[in-house]
A and B are shown apart, each in its own frame.
Chain A
Amino acid sequence: MTDKGKKLKDNGKKDPLRFEGVKPVKRDQKGWLRLRGIIAFVVVSVFIAVIWLFLVDYAVKKAVEIVGTEVVGARVELASADLTLSPLGITLEGLQVTNPEEPMTNAFEASVITASLEFGPLLRRKIIVDNLKIDGLRLATARKKSGAIKGGKRALVKARPVEFKKQFEMPSFEKPDLKAILASEKLETRDIIESLKNDIERAKGDWAGQIKGLPGKEKIEDYKKRFKALEKSTKDSGILEMLVGGTEFLTLQKDLKKDLKAIKKANKGLKQTLKDYENRINGINKAVDRDIRRITDKYLMPSNMIKNMTLMIFGERVAALTERGTYWYKRLEPFMERGGKGSGEVEVVEKLRGIGAWIRFKEHEPLPDLLIRKAQLEVETERGQIIGIIKDITPDQKILGRPMTFKFATDTLKGVKGLTFSGTLDHINQEKALDELVLKVEGFGIKDANIASSTLPLTVKSALIDLDLVAGLKAEADGRSLGSKFNMAFSKVRLIKGEPTGNKMQDKVADALTGIDSFKLRGSMTGKLIGGTLSEENIKISGDLDKIMERAVASIFTKEALGFKRELRSGLMKELGADIDGLGGELVGLEGLSKELTNRLDLGKIKNDKGSEGFPKIKF
């Protein structure tokens, strides 16, 4: 580059490379360095820094909203963000996180969030928050606008299978359409009849073929003739003839015995077959009973449900709470655990969208990429404020070497004597990850609430609840196994029955419960958490309500069930009775074959008296 205003000397020679029209002789005669450029660089850098300072707050706000929305699967909004350089920190105001399950409700919102950051680690792209303070945290607040987003991740927890939900459905005792049931149900009785028919038909063919191969009446008559001839020839004969006759007799007798033995064996087998089929036909009655029991269980009420009324009433609520817990656990899991190797190995952390991959190497002083050393939360509820402390929030517990712990406690809430919620989320070793939660509530007063099944016409006018809950999630080869136990004591209970629902069972249960003033529940739930979906759930709830409710519904159940069973049996017999009777007729053919064999055996019997048709007795 040439400097303006400085003329170069012309040596008079014409430069062949010079464009005639261009200003003459402006060759670069200055050195390569332009030190004034440093000033320009500083000016540009300062300009960029100023622009950055002006835009950074907006950039942080947008980043929180975009990343938050992606993580939660519903809209995350922030009123403002403020980044301060000294001391290094960030303040977020008016954070609203939509509940993806209910887009018109915020899962939570926070008035002010302040975080103080460590500068050194930040240069190495490590976000280490020394202290995070969340003020005015409120759960489940109403939204003005829907927070749903297109293609939200609501399907993280799959809908429960119908069979699982069914265990909490209260039977209505409405008689189902018998004709439709019998037409649609796969009946064991019908299958047995069909199978018997086919078997008998096949057996008839088999036995007819087998009997055909046995000695017939003609052959036995022939034996008889030969015996008579021998008898005649041995009468008044000499010793020699008697010896010859004796030998012939023995041969004849041996052959006859052999044939008779074969017939006898076949007859015995045929009779056994007949007996087996008779037994199977008699067994049809048991299949009818089984069909009736199964259909009654399916359409009216499982016979064991009457002993498990507590589960039926409270199970739905417990299952719903577990499902919600599972959902949020899945959402928050990435903040507790990130896949990958330990800090001592080279690791490729792939990222999508063409921004490359980050390769991690062994660190001399390993630090997680994100760590919140201490978070202080002030949760505002209708009953007052709960203060909680969460320590060591990081997705890299394996690097930090410490589990995340939390504790929320208060004794200042209105209508609650005391509340403690604590736990440890240990993901240091992902293969042995163990999360444990303990919830203890004392004297939790409720008014005008619904504690049980949503369909039960019962409102709790007032009650005091004590709860002890212990839950754990343990890593296993194919997911995480869930285990939880709880004990609940309800005291000073006042239950009010609502309008009758028309469901006899519900009304009866509601009637029975309105009189009680205290009860206890204990329960457990186990299951498997695989890919964010809870499966193999097993909920057990029992308590002193069981007997009260069992007594209340036993009479009504027995009466309804008996009537239904009677009608079902009559319907079944009407449809299958003729087929069952017809099976007896099918056996007649086999009985005829057996008779035929018996006749052949009778023919082969030795004559005992003069009148009989058997073989003659030969005297020597």
Chain B
Amino acid sequence: MLRLCFRLIMAVNSETSSERISLALCLGLVAGFLPFLSPINLVVLLLVFILRINISAFIVGAIIFSAVAYLFDPIFHIMGKALLTLGSLEGLWTYFYNTTIFRLINFNNTIVMGSLFASIVLFIPAFFIFNKLIRRYRESVLACFTKLTVVRAITSSNLYRAYSAFKGA
């Protein structure tokens, strides 16, 4: 876990595109909110593999949002139940209920529906929020950090240059 966190910090500190880290965190949000064994998570996993995003960010995000989801389960249940029992959507749900693929993903479970709905609704806002936060971090915290005399002294030393050259080799 610590290793994953360090990797995430390194990614944030590196020049990896902030959008790719944000997208990874958002996919982690979906995977974390949904029940662990939900077949929808397989689709999320496929996206994680085929999209060029930061996997460490995805894993850390999934773990953090799983813990959050545990606390929010009652709310997901209420949301899911409200959606699934909404009269105007009954026709759609009935169609899904009679379609094997939707039955496989357990859409008619209140927690699955509630958490899926919440993660879809939060996906885009969360993407922009994460993106902004990473940028802010880079502009303020990281920039200040790099300007520190000690850091400058260390990074301009021969030893560090040699280490960087070795690592980059």
Q: Once the chains bind, are A359 and B84 in contact (CB under 8 Å)?
A: yes
A451 at the interface (CB under 8 A from B): no
Q: Considering the chains assembled together, what is the distance between the CA atoms of A111 and B3 in angstroms?
A: 51
The stretch among A21-29, A309-317, A458-466, A574-582 that forms the contact with chain B is A21-29
Contact of A359 among B20, B93, B100 (CB under 8 A): B93
B:1-25 near A, CB below 8 Å: 13-17, 20
In the complex, whether A620 has a CB less than 8 A from a CB of chain B is no
Which of B59-67, B107-115, B120-128 contacts the other chain? Answer: B107-115
B20 and A1 contact, CB distance less than 8 A: yes
B98 interface contact, C-beta 8 A? yes
Q: Which residues, 322 to 379 on A, are CB-close (under 8 Å) to B? A: 346, 348, 354-365
Interface residues in B40-64 by Cβ distance below 8 A to A read: 42, 45-46, 48-54
Q: Residue A1 contacts which of B53, B90, B93 (CB distance < 8 angstroms)?
A: B53
Is B138 a contact of A21 with CB atoms below 8 Å? no
Contact between A357 and B51, CB atoms less than 8 A apart: no
Given contacts A20-B155, A27-B15, A41-B46, contact A123 B77 (CB under 8 A): no
Whether B103 is near chain A, meaning CB under 8 Å from some CB there, is: yes
> What are the 3 closest A-B residue pairs judged by CB atoms, nearest first?
A37-B49, A356-B111, A361-B97
Interface string of A25-61 (1 = CB under 8 A from B): 1111011111101101100110000000000000000
Tell me whether A2 is interfacial, beta carbon within 8 Å.
Answer: yes
Bound: A41/B50 CA distance, A = 8
- A359 and B108: CB pair below 8 A? yes
Q: Could you pull out 20 A-B pairs where Cβ atoms are within 8 angstroms?
A: A17-B15, A17-B138, A19-B13, A20-B155, A21-B164, A22-B13, A23-B164, A28-B17, A33-B52, A37-B49, A45-B42, A125-B103, A346-B90, A355-B111, A356-B77, A356-B80, A356-B109, A356-B110, A357-B81, A359-B110
Chain A residue numbers with a CB within 8 Å of B14 are 19, 22, 26
Other A-B pairs, 15, CB within 8 Å; known A19-B146, A123-B103: A17-B142, A21-B151, A21-B160, A28-B16, A30-B52, A34-B51, A34-B52, A40-B49, A348-B81, A348-B85, A356-B73, A359-B85, A361-B90, A361-B98, A362-B97
B133 CB contacts on chain A under 8 angstroms: none
Shortest beta-carbon distance, A430 to chain B, in Å? 23
In the complex where A27-B15, A124-B100, A363-B97 touch, is A346 in contact with B85 (Cβ < 8 A)?
A: yes
**Residues in chain B within 8 A of chain A (CB atoms):** 13-17, 20, 42, 45-46, 48-54, 73-74, 76-77, 80-81, 84-85, 90, 93-94, 97-98, 100, 103-104, 106, 108-112, 114, 138-139, 142-143, 145-146, 151-152, 154-156, 160, 164, 167-168
Q: Is the interface of A mostly helix, strand, loop or mixed?
A: loop
A151 touches B (CB below 8 Å):
no
- Tell me what chain B mostly uses at the interface: helix, strand, loop, or mixed: helix
Q: How many Å lie between the Cα of A365 and that of B42 in the bound state? A: 28
Given A35-B50, A356-B77: A23 touches B167 (CB 8 Å cut-off): yes
Say if the beta carbon of A16 comes within 8 Å of chain B. Answer: yes
> Contact size class for A?
35 or more
A15 on interface, CB distance cutoff 8 Å = yes
B112, A356: Cβ atoms under 8 Å?
Answer: yes
Q: Determine the chain A residues whose CB is within 8 A of the CB of B97 once the complex forms.
A: 360-363
Counting CB contacts under 8 A, is A232 at the interface?
A: no
User: Is B16's CB under 8 angstroms from A1's CB?
Assistant: yes
Contact B49 A41, beta carbon cutoff 8 Å = yes
State in angstroms the CA–CA spacing of A23 and B81 once bound together.
51
* A235 part of interface (Cβ distance < 8 Å): no
On chain A, the residues within 8 Å of B138 by CB distance are 17
| B residues in contact with A37, CB < 8 Å | 48-51
Which residues on B sit within 8 Å (CB–CB) of A286? none
- Nearest to B168 among chain A residues (CB) is A23
Contacts A17-B142, A27-B15, A40-B49 given: A358-B164 contact, CB under 8 Å?
no
Residues of B within 8 A of A566 (CB): none
